[in-house]
């Protein structure tokens, strides 16, 4: 334990460094770079030095203080390391300003009712996220974008605390559980990206984490109270209202836990509970979220009849963007290292434990962690074999599996799980400590790759404000998918036509270039009530999807056609708006 003087000094130093980091100067410019966080930070080298000292101080205090302090330390870690870009960004151009997530909240406040069945809103049939956003805005008396920032910071903190409780259930050791949470949240790029946006998927992630925490309270308190059982049931049923993919994922996690716990002859999750949750989800899907369910079924049928390359295309393309020759070698090394530590090694250990449990009937341990991971592997295997939503399957596995892989790996590195490491003893945990400190800054940069291009800028808001003031709701708008989110926030009633580069429609650059003239012809034939919103997001999206250079000749040709045949009614140097003559 630390002496009082040393303890006070370290806490004051940690708080001071936290304030310095959260107030660090940043600047944003819409420009694609493989690792955009570097150019967004003022003096990134100095920032990295401060961040490394901050991380070291966090770990030293955690190692020396009482376990009760871990709660405060996890709050500081989540707020500073995970939610940095949310806190540091003005909301009008911040990552939390996801129009697809807050547009429906704005609609609920303006109309004072919930509309389930209106397809102009993305995920309109899963309203829990938007309802919460509207309520939070009223409680805090803040605009919805500002309220969404508060929610995302709160979500980061609650996620860390929930993971800590669940990890303690498996590891029964406060220090190892704390270490597991730091590794899980720092190394999971998909989690960091999810927590940057106020979306239904973020709410789904938060609900699943909270349910896992309630499951973990069984070990912390040696049992559950009636209130905890009721909360567990209500939250498990409510996941179906948050996010379609998250509810499917949670159902398989629950199923995996139940199946694996049967080997240990334990019943913390009953089969009746799984049936109840499944019936509730199916009822919501087929009686409330009819539009989404029909879309998913149609997509599944389409993918089953198409070559595998169609559904795998976008997933492979995103992987190529994260690990390609354009990415600095240090960023590639960091990402690969975290993939090994958080996914490959724990899965290898889990397979060994599965074999020992199923084939050799050895003592079953880590039931919740191994069971949850088994459910995720089962879901990913089914979706991959059936060629349904490979991109979503990979994303969900990367996102949720780190609730289960750190306890598996840490237990393996512990003396009771790997006796041949006894010669090293507790020194085996020097490796993750060094890993956390050394990789804290490069991971912070590499796992925030799109801070410049994922946010909406003032010039984009002013464009939509202009269109909103000068156009009526029935106008036809043509643009890219990202700008479409902003359009839906300001003009929810417009008829919006997205460029044909979604993976549902085209699989490569050649097919996209073949369909682009059809899209331009549709705009030309759409009449005088049509506008074309041209922005750099159009060329950026084509690069993300197909690897097309942003200065591809086709875009100069498109711009020339628009200027020649249409009336340019707005130009702020970033966005051009053309009216069909």
User: Could you read off the pLDDT tens digit of each residue along the chain, which spans 581 residues?
Assistant: 556 667 788 899 999 999 999 999 998 888 878 888 898 999 999 999 999 999 999 998 988 878 888 999 999 999 999 999 988 876 444 444 555 567 778 888 887 777 666 656 656 677 788 888 889 989 988 888 888 888 999 999 999 999 999 999 888 889 999 999 999 999 998 898 888 888 888 889 999 999 999 887 765 555 567 777 788 888 888 888 888 888 889 999 999 988 887 776 666 677 888 888 888 888 888 777 777 777 667 666 665 555 444 444 444 445 545 555 577 888 889 999 999 999 999 999 998 888 877 776 666 678 889 999 999 999 888 877 665 555 667 788 889 999 999 999 888 877 554 454 444 445 555 667 788 899 999 999 998 888 888 888 888 888 988 888 887 667 888 888 788 778 878 887 778 788 776 555 667 778 888 888 888 888 888 877 888 999 888 888 788 777 788 888 888 888 888 888 888 888 998 899 998 87
CA nearest to 323, candidates 340, 309, 308, 307: 340
Rounded CA separation 189/339 (Å): 10
* Cα angle for residues 69, 75, 80 (degrees, 5° grid): 130
Rounded CA separation 55/433 (Å): 10
Could you tell me if 179 and 432 are in contact, meaning their C-beta atoms sit under 8 angstroms apart? yes
Could you tell me if 445 and 35 are in contact, meaning their C-beta atoms sit under 8 angstroms apart? yes
Torsion of CA 398, 402, 408, 412, to 10 degrees: 90
Say whether both 148 and 293 belong to one domain: yes
In a domain, 50, yes or no: no
Phi/psi for 478 (5° steps) reads -120, 130
Q: Name beta bridge partners: 567.
A: 579
In a domain, 51, yes or no: no
Confidence (pLDDT) at 237: 85
In a domain, 568, yes or no: yes
Rounded CA separation 398/347 (Å): 12
Looking only at the bridges linking them, the beta strands covering 576-580 and 530-534 are antiparallel
Query: How many CB atoms are located within 10 Å of the residue 312 CB?
Result: 19
Tokens 């049923």 -> residue: 237
In a domain, 407, yes or no: yes
Say whether both 486 and 399 belong to one domain: no
pTM comes to 0.87
Say whether both 475 and 556 belong to one domain: yes
Rounded CA separation 144/123 (Å): 18
Q: Helix, strand, or coil here: 580?
A: strand
Number of domains forming the structure of the chain: 2
In a domain, 313, yes or no: yes
Say whether both 498 and 353 belong to one domain: no
Query: How many CB atoms are located within 10 Å of the residue 293 CB?
Result: 17
Tokens 């020339």 -> residue: 560
Say whether both 360 and 492 belong to one domain: no
In a domain, 57, yes or no: no
Say whether both 431 and 470 belong to one domain: no
Say whether both 79 and 119 belong to one domain: yes
Say whether both 359 and 463 belong to one domain: no
Say whether both 78 and 198 belong to one domain: yes
Say whether both 438 and 478 belong to one domain: no
Confidence (pLDDT) at 44: 94
Query: How many CB atoms are located within 10 Å of the residue 450 CB?
Result: 19
In a domain, 1, yes or no: no
Say whether both 400 and 487 belong to one domain: no
Q: What percent of the chain has pLDDT over 70?
A: 81
Task: Among 397, 422, 446, identify where a domain stops.
Answer: 446
Using CB atoms within 10 A of its CB, is residue 519 exposed (0-12), middle (13-18) or buried (19+)? middle
Rounded CA separation 100/485 (Å): 5
Rounded CA separation 483/156 (Å): 27
Looking only at the bridges linking them, the beta strands covering 530-534 and 495-498 are unpaired
Phi/psi for 394 (5° steps) reads -65, -45
Structural domain including 228 reads 67-446
Task: Among 424, 446, 468, identify where a domain stops.
Answer: 446
Confidence (pLDDT) at 132: 87
CA nearest to 312, candidates 388, 417, 374: 388
Say whether both 474 and 496 belong to one domain: yes
Task: Among 394, 424, 446, identify where a domain stops.
Answer: 446
Using alpha carbons only, how large is the chain's radius of gyration in Å?
Answer: 25
Tokens of 73: 């330390």
In a domain, 107, yes or no: yes
3-state secondary structure 334-384: HHHHHHHHHHHHHHHHHHHHHHHHHCCCCCCCCHHHHHHHHHHHHHHHHHH
């Amino acid at each position: 334990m630390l002496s009082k003087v040393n303890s006070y000094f370290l806490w004051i130093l940690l708080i001071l460094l936290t304030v310095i980091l959260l107030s660090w100067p940043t600047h944003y410019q819409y420009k694609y770079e493989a690792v955009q966080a570097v150019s967004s930070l003022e003096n990134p080298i100095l920032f990295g030095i401060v961040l490394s000292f901050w991380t070291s101080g966090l770990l030293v205090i955690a190692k020396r203080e009482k376990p009760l302090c871990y709660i405060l330390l996890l709050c500081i870690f989540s707020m500073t390391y995970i939610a940095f870009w949310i806190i540091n960004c003005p909301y009008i151009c911040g990552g939390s300003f996801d129009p697809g997530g807050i547009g429906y909240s704005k609609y609920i406040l303006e109309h004072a009712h919930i509309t389930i069945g209106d397809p102009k809103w993305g995920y309109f049939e899963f309203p829990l996220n938007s309802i919460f956003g509207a309520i939070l805005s009223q409680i805090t008396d803040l605009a919805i974008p500002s309220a969404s920032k508060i929610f995302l910071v709160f979500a980061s903190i609650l996620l860390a605390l929930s993971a800590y409780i669940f990890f303690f259930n498996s590891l029964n050791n406060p220090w190892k559980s704390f270490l597991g949470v730091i590794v899980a949240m720092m190394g999971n790029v998909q989690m960091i990206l999810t927590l940057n946006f106020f979306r239904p998927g973020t709410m789904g992630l938060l609900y699943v984490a909270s349910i896992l925490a309630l499951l973990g309270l069984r070990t912390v308190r040696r049992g559950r109270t009636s209130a905890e059982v009721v909360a567990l049931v209500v939250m498990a049923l409510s996941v179906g209202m948050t996010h379609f993919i998250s509810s499917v994922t949670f159902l398989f996690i629950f199923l995996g836990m139940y199946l694996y716990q049967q080997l240990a002859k334990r019943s913390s999750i009953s089969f009746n509970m799984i049936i109840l949750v499944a019936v509730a989800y199916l009822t919501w899907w087929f009686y409330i979220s009819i539009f989404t369910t029909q879309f998913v079924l149609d997509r599944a049928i389409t993918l089953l009849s198409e070559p595998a390359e169609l559904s795998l295309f976008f997933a492979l393309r995103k992987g190529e963007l994260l690990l390609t020759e354009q990415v600095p070698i240090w960023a590639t090394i960091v990402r690969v290292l975290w993939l090994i530590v958080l996914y490959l090694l724990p899965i290898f250990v889990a397979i060994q434990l599965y074999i020992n449990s199923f084939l050799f009937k050895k003592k079953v341990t880590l039931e919740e962690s191994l069971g949850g991971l088994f459910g995720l592997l089962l879901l990913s295997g089914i979706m991959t074999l059936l060629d349904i939503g490979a991109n979503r399957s990979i994303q969900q596995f990367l996102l949720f599996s780190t609730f289960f892989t750190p306890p598996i790996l840490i237990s393996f590195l512990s003396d009771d799980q790997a006796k041949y490491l006894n010669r090293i003893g507790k020194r085996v945990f020097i490796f993750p400590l060094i890993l956390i400190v050394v990789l804290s800054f490069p991971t912070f940069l590499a796992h925030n790759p799109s801070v410049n291009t994922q946010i909406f800028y003032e010039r984009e808001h002013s464009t939509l404000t202009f269109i909103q003031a000068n156009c009526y709701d029935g106008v036809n708008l043509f643009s890219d998918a990202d700008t479409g989110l902003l359009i839906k926030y300001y003009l929810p009633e417009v008829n919006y036509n997205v460029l044909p580069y979604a993976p549902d429609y085209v699989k490569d650059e050649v097919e996209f270039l073949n369909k682009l003239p059809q899209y331009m012809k549709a705009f030309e034939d759409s009449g005088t009530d049509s506008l074309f919103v041209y922005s750099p997001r159009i060329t950026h999206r084509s690069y993300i999807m197909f690897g097309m250079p942003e200065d591809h000749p086709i875009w100069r040709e498109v711009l020339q056609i628009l200027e020649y045949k249409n009336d340019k009614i707005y130009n702020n140097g970033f966005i051009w708006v053309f009216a069909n003559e």
